[in-house]
Homo-oligomer: A and B are copies of this chain.
């Protein structure tokens, strides 16, 4: 198992006796970085070095830049969602993966406080934002976009769909709750609104009109 995979699986907090030394160091650096982020302190290489006791050289051996380290730290504990089942009810599978469970694309799998802090950081630094997007977010979208393409092949979804735009509309409705409304994703009213948004987008994605209403 690579260090990256360990971070993704969120298991880095569980240290086993057999864990290779490097992984423990990776984890220590990530934890120091996250502590600075959570404390709303500016994240600098000097601070990470002084808080972790790890050398500058060791840090740069692991991450080519501070930006890639911060992006990795922001992604800590988040997973690439598993493949979406394509042999059953596609709508139900997509709904569960987008809005349903703790591993969902939007609910993040980490605290709302850290999500808000992540948005603050990337709003202030477009390089960090682009790094985080390409190395982390875009990767997490792959299973969902594959499920949409599978739906097109099966004739369930329209052949002319822009699957990226469909993802953006569904996930965007969720971000709107956090970024504009300032609502919590687990509020019942917010969940109802997000399900209604999903219904509309999904209906617009269908090759043929759905029989069921709402």
Contact = CB atoms under 8 A, between A and B. Distances in A.
Contact of A119 (B119, B193, B202): B119
A160 B204 contact: no
Interface in A126-153: 126, 129-130, 133, 137
A213 B207 CA distance: 11
Interface stretch (A15-23, A82-90, A162-170): A162-170
Given A162-B193, A172-B173, A200-B166, A123 B130 contact: no
Given A168-B176, A172-B172, A201-B169, A213 B182 contact: no
Given A133-B182, A200-B201, A209-B209, A193 B168 contact: yes
A166 B173 CA distance: 9
Interface in A111-127: 116-117, 119-120, 122-124, 126
A181 B179 CA distance: 14
Contacts of A70: none
A182 B126 contact: yes
A91 interface: no
B120 A182 contact: no
Given A123-B123, A126-B182, A165-B194, 13 more contacts: A119-B119, A119-B179, A129-B182, A162-B196, A162-B197, A165-B173, A165-B196, A169-B197, A171-B180, A175-B180, A200-B201, A200-B205, A201-B204
Interface of A: 116-117, 119-120, 122-124, 126, 129-130, 133, 137, 160-162, 164-166, 168-177, 179-182, 193-194, 196-197, 199-205, 209, 213-214
